[in-house]
Structure formats: structure tokens, C-alpha cells
Structure 1
Amino acid sequence: MSQDTFKKALAVGRPPNVVQNFPGSQALLVSGKVIDRAMTAKGGAMTIAANGRNIFIIEGALKAAQRANAAIIIEIARSEATYCPTTLWNIARRIDYLCNKLGITIPVAVHADHYFMKKWDDVAVAKAEIPSLFETGVTSIAIDASHMTDDLNLLANIEVSPSIPSWAGYETEIGEIKGAFGLSSPLEAKFLCQGLNAHGLCPDWIALNNGTTHGIEASGEGIQVELTADIHKALEPYGTSGAQHGTSGNDSDRLRAIAAQTATTKANVATALQMIGWGVKVNDFGNAIMDGDHFAKVPGEGVDDALWDEMVAYADANNIKGGDYKKLNLVFERRWQGQSQAVQQRMAQGVEEFVYDLLVNVFNAQDTAPIAYDLILEAGSYDLGLKKEKFEDAAEWTEEKIKAMAAEIDTDKGPAGDFDD
């Protein structure tokens, strides 16, 4: 990509909140809409939404995308902000800093993932808080009201929509992520997107419970490709792409099938990147390998071996096991940054190699950055507008009618419980 094209895209492609926060920046932080449409335009492609739990993950993912010439998303979930140094309010700042430091020129969306509302009382909090995320430079958000009933999920999305800039990337969700339990259906998905369309809303992505889990996929079941394709087929009139949650540890062939056979353009990867950055031994799909009751560490890779021993001792002393090792990010990032430059670089390098392989050899995202540039320049703006305009009748989607229609939807939501975001 020529420097001239990059400069032109930089001049018009950064949303106003990005310009305001980073006025002298040379980082092309863009709306999530740009990333989604670049993947759609290439066809059979999805990009990584890398959960930047620590700064080394963000650095490695950005370097990988630059090598692959791929447009990407860096994200953090609302729940992750409680146990990670990266939060919904500093993630844009971290990404912008690293893009400028490293000379990153590919387009990057800054995504606030899983902004959850588990009960109706949470809606008022969301309406008050979401604007503050965009004030810090976030360019995309996932509204997750999937914990509520279908009617309240739809009504919550409608209620908070004025808090989201019209130019921003917008993800919605049905079905909590419960593995093989409570699988999503085309009926549920269409109900949500149809009702949103009636209110002039067009989600760029929808996340489903299509058989996966958060953390490392160890069941052998994983993502159900055919189910996902059926749901996306039902949503074609509404223009909504798929967001694949719980990607870590899934078989690469299954992920290739998701990219090739469905409308998925966004694949969330969190746990695998964390483990690889630390130097934990993983298989080809990012599944961590155990050594007895602890994760197996590759000597001389990732964090300093002596510091890893401290991390394990801290985890043991605080009864932190398995997936809860994620809670070490907040406690130890300062220590990781205090290591030698060589050790810090190998932490980021491990992430870079893994993400590069995903982007190029699994997700088919290579060379999507120029497509994103073209979309920005064709629009002459940071705002690409809706993929599908309103065509449903709002009079048929009042609160009363939404509740009545939802009562007729007979689907299995799976077991009750507080499922992790």
C-alpha cells in the first residue's frame, strides 16, 4: 500500500472521537464497520478480534496484522476489565500508542466486547456509561443482553442504541455461550435482527451460541458450522455478519470452514493469545497443555522462567486454577514490563507468530487492509452507513407486540447459571 493512499485514508477514515483523543496520531483507528465490510468484500474471510488482555498481546497482534497486510480488531470485554490492566477506557490509548511506536499502518478497530446487561435494571447504567467509552476512542461495541429473554434482549438493544454513534461498529448477541447447551436458532436470530431493522438499526455482527465455549475449547465438539450457516442464511435480508466467540482451541479446519461457509467476519481469540504470550506449551490449535496440575511452560519462551514460577506460586496461594489464570494479567503486567527487552520481545513475538498464522492460513484475512482503505476512500468518510436500510414496519414492532411475539418463540436456552463473558 502506497504511503499516499495511507495518508488519504488517515485524513478521512478516523472517527471524530479518535481525532479528538489522538490529534497528532498516525494510527488508522477506524469504525468496526470498515473491518466487517473489508472481510465481506474479500469473501470467505474473517479477521481476528484479539482480546488485548495485556500490552504484549496487543503488540503481537498488531505486528502480525501488519505482516499479513490485514485489517483487524483489538478488543477487551467488560468483564475482562476487572482482571486485566487493559480496560474499556484505556484500550484505545494503548492501541494508538503501539501503532505509532511500531509504525502500524493497517486499519484497526477498537472494540468494547460483551458490554453485558444481565437484567433490565442494567439498561439505565449502560445508557449512562456507554458514551464514556466512545469518549476515550472506542470505535465499536458489542451489546450483550443475551442473558435476558428474547423480548428484553431486543428491547434493551433498542433502548441503548441512542448511546452508540451511528458510525460505530455494532454487535449484538443471542444465546449465552454455553457450549452444546442452549444452541441458538435461526428463529431467535431473525426475531432480533428483524425487530432491530424495524427501529432503523442494523447490527454489523451477531454472536451466537453455536456450540463453542469461552476459554480453551477442550470438549472436541466446538463450533457447529452447519448451524451457523443456517442462521446466517436466515439473516441475509438484514445484512448482519457473524461474530465467532470462543475461537481459542478450535480445530483449524473447523475455523476455515466457518470463514468459507458462513457469513462470519469477526473471530474472537483471547485465552490462546494469553497462554502463548506467557510461553505456555500449546498444541496447533492453541489448547494449553498440562503438566500434572499446572500448565506446561516452555523453558526460554514467553515470560522469564523465574517469573513464571512466581506466577504459579501466586496462583496456587490464591487457589487460581485453569481458566482463572487470566486473573494474573492485572497482578503481573507491571512485572512483565520490568523484564529485559529481549524477554518482552519474545512474549510479543510468540503472539505475533500465532496470530499471523491464523490470519494468513486459517482466517483468509491476508491483504484485506487495502480493501479497507478503498472502502474509506470510496465513502470519503469514517462513516460507511448502514449495510441495510430500514424496511420492516415499526408499527408491527411495538413493545407490546415484541413481547407477544417473543412469547411464541419456543427454544431451548440451556441450563441457568452465571456464564462467563
Structure 2
Amino acid sequence: MPAFGQPPHPQFDTALKVGRPPNVQALFPHSRALLVSGKVVDRAMLAKGHAMTIAANGRSHFVIRGTLLAAQRANAAVILEIAKSEGGAAQYCATTMWNLARQVDAMCNELGITVPVAVHTDHYGIKNPADLEKAKVEIPTLFEAGVTSIAIDASHLPDDENLLANILLKDYVPTWAGYETEVGEIKGKAGLSTPQEALFLIQGLNAHGIHPDWIALNNGTTHGIEASEAGIQVELTAEIHAALAPYKLSGAQHGTSGNSSAKLREIAAKTATTKANVATALQMLSWGVQVNEYGNAVLDEAKRLIKEPGKGVTEDLWTELVAYADAKGLSAGDYKKLNLPFECRMLGLPKDVRDRMAEAVAGFVEELLVDVFNAKDTAPLAIDAILAANSYDLGPKVGVIEDPAEWTEDKIRARAKTIESDKGPEGDFDD
């Protein structure tokens, strides 16, 4: 494990010079933080084999800080992300899609973090034509703000519209950036994704010269507090990943919080997953909420969160959080909406309290990276990938396989009609 400020690779300075994308270099010309494309992190996990890293939803300063501390201790390449719903124009977090990179860069320099870190916009949702038009303006601003990776999530749309939306946004995402796509809305055990749906999306993208690094599925997961014993369907995930093998897709696993360590180890061992999103567990830990060994919040008989004395925020501030939530009619699953109104209150807490909030996150994340995700010592592998390419741009993992003539808009719409699938119930599912 490298000490803080000690590079994980003898050629760290070379990697710093050539491995930071142009937007990062322009924003932070004097930085020693190795902010990299999401492609770099994916390749590091592939190089180690049967490894995935955390994509931590940086809902607060404390989550970002704790994740970076853990990454350095584990010598692991990691991803910090924020979803459009969390940090977009109608955000419920003080962290936004436009300030996440600035926070990550500042904290890396403050703490002496030398492991590679990607900055990811997660679930950039496209739910209607208006969203598509806004995206053409907004996506470039995200990269101007230092983002190095993005998930275009049009999974709420029918299969043909999902594919066409990704194609239409091709020119708005730099070719060097990490790229995630999604099939199937996150609906738990309803509307599970199929190999046919996934192949349709990836083959159509391939024909248009779009080569995602990751694909996210509805494979039985949920966002937020895990309420089901079923959880992630590992065999289904492995089946879909195997069908996509010619296109060299890695998996992005959403809704990781609350799943057992055994199941997460199984995902790393049996599927092509290299990116595991964790959000709710980190938020709860930083506040001092009681969680089980899997990071899932423990509820009392009244279905309320349990605050552990001497952990997380002060007892007085917790009382205020609960009173605010009660006044707003927020259930335990909606406590995420407290991030924005209370971030500055938390930043104003005494240093020892702030430190224990970040350390609670760090301890949990380090254990995930080392003992569950098999991501320990992937930082040097990420740097090796940069040095081998002598560039911040690692290029696609596979070339064009499909015939573009077979994937015109008319043929895409005709093909979509032949897909047999159950999309599950209608509704505005959280992303």
C-alpha cells in the first residue's frame, strides 16, 4: 500500500503528464491528482481479472473524502460519480454534475491521493424528446466541468428509442471518455433484462461506431434501501454478459448497497462486471445510521432509521434531520433528500466529528475494495494501461463488427418489433 503522497507506480509523473484528459488538464493545470477516463479504470479491473471497483455516489463531501482515503489505502483505481437525479438541475445533493470533479481534484491534492480516479456522470436520463434536446446542450458542459465518463441512460424508453437516443448523442461525448449504456429500467425483480434486448442495443451501437465500456442491466437490483431477499440475479447477469462477449462489454452493477458480500464476490467471480455502484450505504454510514454487515440500513419496528450514539453527525443535528424529514413526510428511503439542505450544517461540525464521518465511509469502502471486489492493487494496472497507450485515450476494446447498412433507423424500428420481453410495470422508477 502506498503512503499518502507516494505514487503507486515508478512512472507516476509520466502517467500524470499523458494520462489526464484534455478537459482535466485545462481545468487543473497544476494538479497532482490523476483524474482519468473511465476506460482506464475498466481496463485495470480487466487486467487483474474477476475484479470490480466501487463507483461511489459522492452525495456529500464526506462520501467523496472517505472513498478517496479508502482507494489510497487499498491502492485501487476507483470511480466517483453523481447521477443526474442526485446532482442535476433538480438536484437533491450539494454535489452536482458540475462540481464533482472540482471536489475530487481538490481533495486528491489535499490528501495526497495518487491512485487513478475517474469522475462519472451516472444515469444521465433520457425519458422523452425534450430530455434529448436538453442533453445536446448540457452534456458538453459536463465535460467542460471535468467529467471523464458518462452513462447515457435511455432505458426508460422503448428499445428502438433507447438505441436511437444513444446514437443521436454520439457526437456530444468525447471518444476518449468512459461510456456506459443501459437496457432495462431498475425495477427489482420486475421487467428483467434479456440477452435479446442487450444484444439489440449493443449491436446497433457497434454498427454506428459506438463502443460502450459498460452496460447496466435490470438484473433484479433496486436503488436505495434493499427490501428484497432476491436481489441481484447473478446467473442472468452472467448469461447476458456471455452473449455480449464478442463486443467486449464490461458490466456496471447498480444498486449494490444491501447485497451480501457473498453475492458481490459471486458477481465479481462469475460475470464481466468491473463497476459496482454504491450510494445509500455510504450516505447512511457517514451520518452514523446503524447498518448491517452489508451496508443496508437497519430499521426499528416503526420503520425508522436508527442513529448510533457517538457515530456520524452529532445527536443534536440528527434530531434536526429527523424533525425536518418528519415535517416533509419523508420515509427512511427518502432521507437522501436531506443531503442538500444539511450539507453545510455538516461541514460546520467540529473536526473530530467530520473526521469520523469520513472514516466511517473509508473503512467500509476499503473492506469492499480489498475483501469483496478484488480491486486491491489495481492502481498500478491502471497506470500501466496509460503508459502502454502513451495517452489518456485508450481507444475502444473492439472495432466495428456489425454492418451499418443493417442498422438504419427504419431497420432499427423493424427489428425492435421482433423483441420479446416483459418491461414490467409502468411508472417513474428512480434512477
SS in structure 2 at match of 1:17: helix
Spell out the pairing of 1:342-361 with structure 2 (5 A cutoff).
342-361=352-371
Unaligned runs of 5+ residues in structure 1 are none
* Match of residue 383 from structure 1: 393
Matched, 1:374 2:384: yes
Deviation of the 1:251 alpha carbon = 1.0
2:27 aligned partner, one-letter code: N
- TM-score (norm: length of structure 1): 0.99
Q: 1:163 aligns with which of 161, 172, 179?
A: 172
Q: 2:104 aligns with which of 63, 84, 95?
A: 95
Q: 2:36 aligns with which of 5, 30, 40?
A: 30
- TM-score (norm: length of structure 2): 0.97
Deviation of the 1:218 alpha carbon = 2.1
2:36 & 2:411 partners in 1: Cα distance?
37
* Match of residue 94 from structure 2: 85
Check whether the contact 2:250–2:273 (CA below 8 A) recurs between aligned residues.
yes
1:7 & 1:217 partners in 2: Cα distance?
42
Deviation of the 1:121 alpha carbon = 3.0
Check whether the contact 2:8–2:114 (CA below 8 A) recurs between aligned residues.
no
SS in structure 2 at match of 1:121: helix
Matched, 1:42 2:48: yes
Q: 2:79 aligns with which of 73, 81, 84?
A: 73
2:314 aligned partner, one-letter code: D
Q: 1:223 aligns with which of 198, 207, 232?
A: 232
2:364 & 2:37 partners in 1: Cα distance?
25
Q: Choose 9-18 or 113-122, whichever is displaced more.
A: 113-122
* Match of residue 315 from structure 2: 305
Deviation of the 1:305 alpha carbon = 1.2
Q: 2:57 aligns with which of 3, 28, 51?
A: 51
Deviation of the 1:296 alpha carbon = 0.5
Check whether the contact 1:120–1:156 (CA below 8 A) recurs between aligned residues.
no
Spell out the pairing of 1:5-404 with structure 2 (5 A cutoff).
5-81=11-87, 82-293=91-302, 294-404=304-414
Check whether the contact 2:57–2:82 (CA below 8 A) recurs between aligned residues.
yes
1:291 & 1:211 partners in 2: Cα distance?
26
2:148 aligned partner, one-letter code: T
SS in structure 1 at match of 2:120: strand
Deviation of the 1:292 alpha carbon = 3.6
SS in structure 2 at match of 1:281: coil
2:191 & 2:300 partners in 1: Cα distance?
33
Check whether the contact 2:281–2:296 (CA below 8 A) recurs between aligned residues.
yes
2:8 & 2:95 partners in 1: Cα distance?
32
2:63 & 2:181 partners in 1: Cα distance?
25
Q: 1:418 aligns with which of 412, 424, 428?
A: 428
Q: Percent of aligned pairs with the same residue?
A: 67
Unaligned runs of 5+ residues in structure 2 are 1-6
1:234 & 1:4 partners in 2: Cα distance?
39
1:405 & 1:303 partners in 2: Cα distance?
53
Check whether the contact 1:176–1:208 (CA below 8 A) recurs between aligned residues.
yes
1:401 & 1:2 partners in 2: Cα distance?
49
Check whether the contact 2:219–2:232 (CA below 8 A) recurs between aligned residues.
yes
Deviation of the 1:317 alpha carbon = 1.1
Cα gap change, 1:350/1:404 in structure 2, threshold over 3 Å: closer, same or farther?
same
2:12 & 2:333 partners in 1: Cα distance?
40
Deviation of the 1:4 alpha carbon = 4.0
1:165 & 1:331 partners in 2: Cα distance?
34
2:156 aligned partner, one-letter code: H
Alignment deviations for residues 115-136 of structure 1 (CA, whole Å, 9 cap, x no partner): 0001133211111110000000
1:302 & 1:405 partners in 2: Cα distance?
52
1:259 & 1:288 partners in 2: Cα distance?
23
2:26 & 2:333 partners in 1: Cα distance?
38
1:420 & 1:387 partners in 2: Cα distance?
31
Aligned length: 421
1:378 aligned partner, one-letter code: A
1:320 aligned partner, one-letter code: L
SS in structure 2 at match of 1:290: coil
2:205 aligned partner, one-letter code: L
SS in structure 2 at match of 1:229: helix
Alignment deviations for residues 149-199 of structure 1 (CA, whole Å, 9 cap, x no partner): 000000000000100000000000000000000000001001100000000
SS in structure 1 at match of 2:169: helix
Q: Choose 172-181 or 289-298, whichever is displaced more.
A: 289-298
1:127 & 1:146 partners in 2: Cα distance?
18
2:125 aligned partner, one-letter code: F
Check whether the contact 2:8–2:380 (CA below 8 A) recurs between aligned residues.
no
1:407 & 1:200 partners in 2: Cα distance?
23
Check whether the contact 1:167–1:383 (CA below 8 A) recurs between aligned residues.
yes
2:364 & 2:140 partners in 1: Cα distance?
34
Deviation of the 1:321 alpha carbon = 1.3
Check whether the contact 1:218–1:287 (CA below 8 A) recurs between aligned residues.
no
SS in structure 1 at match of 2:129: coil
* Match of residue 4 from structure 2: none
2:101 & 2:130 partners in 1: Cα distance?
28
1:111 aligned partner, one-letter code: H
Check whether the contact 1:120–1:152 (CA below 8 A) recurs between aligned residues.
no
Check whether the contact 1:112–1:140 (CA below 8 A) recurs between aligned residues.
yes
1:13 aligned partner, one-letter code: G
SS in structure 1 at match of 2:339: helix
Cα gap change, 1:187/1:268 in structure 2, threshold over 3 Å: closer, same or farther?
same
1:120 & 1:182 partners in 2: Cα distance?
23
